[in-house]
Amino acid sequence: MNVVIHYTIEEIAKICKGKWKNRNPSFSQLSYLSLDTRKISYPQETVFFAIRNKMRNANFFLETLYNKGVRNLVTDDQNVDFAQLKEANIVLVKNTVAAFQQLAIFHRNRFSKDQLNVIGITGSNGKTIVKEWLNQLLEKEFSIVRSPKSFNSQIGVPLSVLNIASSNNLAIFEAGISQPGEMKNLDKIIQPQIGIFTNIGNAHDEGFKNTQQKIREKLLLFTNSNHLIFCSDDERLASEIRLFRKKHNQLKVFSWGRKSSNTLRIKEIKKENSLSLIEVIYKGKKFRIQIPFTDEASVQNAVHCWCALFILQKNTETVRRHFTSLYPIEMRLELKSGINRCDIINDSYSNDFYSLGIALDFLHQQKRHKYHTLILSDIVQSGVEPEKLYKDIASLLQQKNIDKFYGVGADIFSQQKVFEGLNSTSFFKSTDDFLKNIFISGFHDETILIKGARQFEFEKISHILEQKVHQTVLSINLNSIVHNLKQYKEKLKPSTKIMVMVKAFGYGSGSYEIASVLEYNKVDYLAVAYADEGIELRKAGITLPIMVMNTDNSSFDSVVNYNLEPEIFSFNLLKDFTEFLSKSEIENYPVHLKIDTGMHRLGFMENEISFLCKKISSNKFIKIKSVFSHLAASEDPAEDPFTLLQFTIFKSCCTKIEKTLNYAFDKHIDNTTGISRHPEMQLNMVRLGIGLYGIDSNKEMQKKLKNVSTLTTTISQIKKIKAGETVGYGRKATVEKDSVIAVVRIGYADGYSRRFGNGNGKMLVKNKLVPVIGNICMDMTMLDVTGIKAKEGDEVIVFGELLSLQSVAHWAETIPYEIMTSISQRVKRIYFEE
């Protein structure tokens, strides 16, 4: 999280009412503000605000930042060793978040109502879409600054507001809250003249007493606003707004809906094919717009935008025509497999300087390939002079070590000279020019970020660079991975380390991609099943310690060559690996000892520990990094006495080994479910497995997790068959009435088990659960979609948010692990980050 600023450290100290702990005038000039230790590109020009929360205290990293060259720090921790940071400017504040917000308030106050019109958006759903659609509709009418992505929190809002520049005359910010007391802060920062309350739903219900309290808290964003747009069809919202207005006489409500009393009355909504024609009456006159959507949410979002146009006096025929070209908002960066062993990051829907920085950070995280490439369009309607804008972009690309750069658009074409410091550059006046003149074979073994404004139609570029595979796709939400990791970290003591299992191709989700996210989020260890998996991670640039759980003589060379750490579970393996190290003249090589405390799979038995101690006591070739065991039934309350027995045995064994070695090592026995059910067994490390992917047999913990993986396919063909006809191999299914059968592009070769055949399995078509009919084929499955208006090409959900993996596993009489790890490699993986 970085933002361009134009304040000195002295000004920041004064604005935030901070006290100087160190002062060095040599480094007072600033260009950037950062909240993320991992994303600092210009250390000497950056001020870092050290924010602490439940998960992490950024003050712990101040010395690391100092060693990287950061010389301006704002902290609220009086216990920091300031003597170690003697060359830095250090400002001590009471609360870093409050100080950061105060800086944003100061910045916002620099822009008067005459200079800047501000729209503030809140509600349970639709905030980001309304904001982005307003930008699409008005970008040619105003110089707009808006919240990047979904930056609407106590941190996201001030980051957004700090982006306001003197060239902007319209700002659009969204605000979200999760508990009482938060919106007062955001109102002071945003200070909207025009408010939009999209709707009220169930999001963040847990933070409020009831819906009434949540509405009242959200309305505080509009305490000093002049206008408030809302749909009066929801009486809960309408009644609270009537009460709110009695206390705030300056507020003019702009209601819309079907009642004649509304400011804007909906006369008619016609839905045909994929279009909606909306006719309204405003001040006695009829107006029409057409949008390329038919769902109710899109209609509501479009009308909210339309109301804002009336207030801004931009309800012109020209602007209304723009409604026909509104497009869905892609709120995610997608990582896909590309041609010639490339990886493709697709962000081809929007383009501004701030979102470019976010996308480049995501590119920088990818370490599979040595070379990083950027294909970038013009940044339109930036409000900044082209020469300055592209100089700043060129500087940013140099900092991010971009190896190849392709610029597309008239503006960027005219600014070629500012990019001369990059290694390899090519420029094209248009997307068609790029497509006509580029040699596709020139892209190979690299990670390519495609970043363009919508009007440049960069999806054409994405299409030719992406690997062509069939239409069954496993989508992995990297934000959910991070969320789930945080949920488990919250259960741990600060001193407890975390080892994450990425074996079996990351439970089917992809080892490298998941490992990269874990390394970025600072887990302590990774674990894989076999050396081959660890080798792939090392080749992809993963540097975390990696434990290999199944090692044999044939893999010893690879283990050592790639700095992997083997699990030692038997005396024969201990003997063989020791002999290998001896012959290789290697001492103190890290290993992990496995103790069998009752699982009776791999590991040394309790009665073997004394003999094990003799074998390792004088073994100079190995260094014990950890001792661990595996709980057999940590999820089952009925087996808690046995779990406790395992823990007791494990502690006893560790005590004996510790006395023998005379040095400390990590101890771990808690697994995914054990982390929440048996916190007393954390010791100094835990192992997180399938919980990372959103699956935990502890029901209370499951409620806190987010779905990670969604498996989808598409309908290949629709068939109408008569009563009495059969479906599939072996004629196992006979329809009793005239039926409609959908053939979908997934079979047992994709990992969809034959156990799902003949009605055992179900999929979601048009949000309705439909049964599998007949036997599962190698590449196809048939569904009975009778009574559903399905068509060829429609998406089908195999499992995901709306159809849980647990339900699918239950139908197959197995466990989620098996379903996930069975998904074949020919199924396309898409990794995305919101």
State the catalytic residues: 503, 729
The amino acid that residue 188 corresponds to is K
Q: Are 548 and 589 in contact (CB under 8 A)?
A: no
* Local structure of 134: helix, strand or coil: helix
CA within 13 Å, CB half, 293: 16
> Residue 596: which residues within 8 A CB-CB, separation 6 or more?
569, 602, 603, 604, 605, 606, 629
Four-residue CA torsion sign, 684, 689, 692, 695: negative
Four-residue CA torsion sign, 10, 11, 14, 16: negative
Strand 781-784 to 117-122 pairing: unpaired
* Local structure of 164: helix, strand or coil: coil
Strand 446-451 to 343-347 pairing: parallel
Task: Report the alpha-carbon distance of residue 437 to residue 429 in Å, rounded.
Answer: 11
Task: Report the alpha-carbon distance of residue 96 to residue 107 in Å, rounded.
Answer: 17
Question: Strand pairing partners for 710?
Answer: 475
Task: Report the alpha-carbon distance of residue 272 to residue 452 in Å, rounded.
Answer: 31
* Local structure of 543: helix, strand or coil: coil
Q: Are 569 and 603 in contact (CB under 8 A)?
A: yes
Number of H helices, E strands in the chain: 27, 39
Q: Are 92 and 76 in contact (CB under 8 A)?
A: yes
State both tokens at 501. Answer: 């299992």
Q: Each residue of 128-156: b (16+ CB within 10 Å) or e?
A: bbbbbbbbbbbbebbbbbbbbbebbbbbb
Q: Are 7 and 89 in contact (CB under 8 A)?
A: no
For residue 531, report the phi and psi dihedrals to the nearest 5 degrees.
Answer: -60, -35
794 to each of 4, 200, 356, 713, how far by Cα in Å?
44, 30, 33, 9
Task: Report the alpha-carbon distance of residue 337 to residue 468 in Å, rounded.
Answer: 9
CB atoms near residue 565 (< 10 Å): 22
State both tokens at 759. Answer: 């009605």
Q: Are 60 and 39 in contact (CB under 8 A)?
A: no
Q: Each residue of 422-454: b (16+ CB within 10 Å) or e?
A: beebbbbebbeebbeebeeeebeebbbbbbbbb
State both tokens at 687. Answer: 């192992």
Task: Report the alpha-carbon distance of residue 345 to residue 336 in Å, rounded.
Answer: 6
Of 302, 348, 380, nearest to 137 by C-alpha is 302
